[in-house]
Structure 1
Amino acid sequence: MADDDMLRNLALALEGTSEAPHFDRAAFKVRRIYVTLAADGLTVNFKFTPDEQQIKCEMLPNAFSPVPNAWGRQGWTTAILSELEEPDLRDALETAWRHALPGKRRA
């Protein structure tokens, strides 16, 4: 079962990632924000493509759901940390992180 400490450790281990406050959340970013952690440490929002979002929500429907607004239609996806195992969290972080990288490394 994943938690906020696991998320923070995995995110900060990804090259170029820094943590900063973002409204009432903690944001993890490289060039841009790719994941935010709720203040209560229970949920995170990942930046996926809409196709990635659909796959994540179909594969782990108890863990992932689209953010319920225009942000969700752009791929922002909420995850309940306690519903994720470390490999699922790591994969979600790396997927979102790639979109935040500058230049050619985004693929």
Structure 2
Amino acid sequence: MVSIEEFRKLAMSFPDATEEPHFEKISFRIKKKIFATFDEKNNQAVLKLNEIDQSVFCASSEKIFYEIPNKWGKQGWTIVELSRVRPEMFEDALIRSYENVVTKKK
């Protein structure tokens, strides 16, 4: 299980990360681009993974990680059930999400 405090601490530990509101959610951004959001109502994170990482995380833990069921999911946006995920696994996924957004070609 990952709490919002743990999520926030990890997300804000990345260079140049900021926390900003995003509709009814909290977003974590790098250079104005979202790499993660937190949905407090559902205790879920949404991460921006690349196609390979999304496939690996979803296949290994389908009740914890799953693609958003719309066009956003096809672009790598992946839901994470924070009440079920191991902290180490979440940290790995969040790092990959951050790196995916930082290194994305413009």
TM-score normalised by length of structure 1? 0.89
Q: How does 1:18-97 map to 2 (within 5 A)?
A: 18-31=18-31, 32-40=33-41, 42-97=43-98
- Give the corresponding residue for 1:7: 7
Task: Report the Cα distance in structure 1 between the residues aligned to 2:40 and 2:87, rounded to whole angstroms.
Answer: 20
> Where does structure 1 differ by over 3 angstroms across 4 or more consecutive aligned residues?
none
Pick the structure with more helix per residue: 1
> Over residues 17-36 of structure 1, what are the superposed CA-to-partner deviations in whole Å (9 max), with x where a residue is unaligned?
11000011100011210000
CA RMSD of aligned residues (A): 1.6
C-alpha deviation, 1:40, in angstroms: 2.1
In 2, Cα distance between the equivalents of 1:4 and 1:64?
17
How many angstroms apart in 1 are the aligned matches of 2:72 and 2:50?
11
Q: Which residue identity does 2:5 align to in structure 1?
A: D
Tell me the matched-pair count: 104
Q: Which runs of 5 or more structure 2 residues have no equivalent in the other structure?
A: none
* Larger strand share, 1 or 2: 2
Structure 1 unpaired stretches of 5+: none
Q: Secondary structure at the match of 1:54?
A: helix
Identity of aligned residues (%): 27
Letter in 1 for 2:29: K
Which amino acid counterpart does residue 45 of structure 1 have in structure 2?
A: V
TM-score in terms of structure 2 length: 0.90
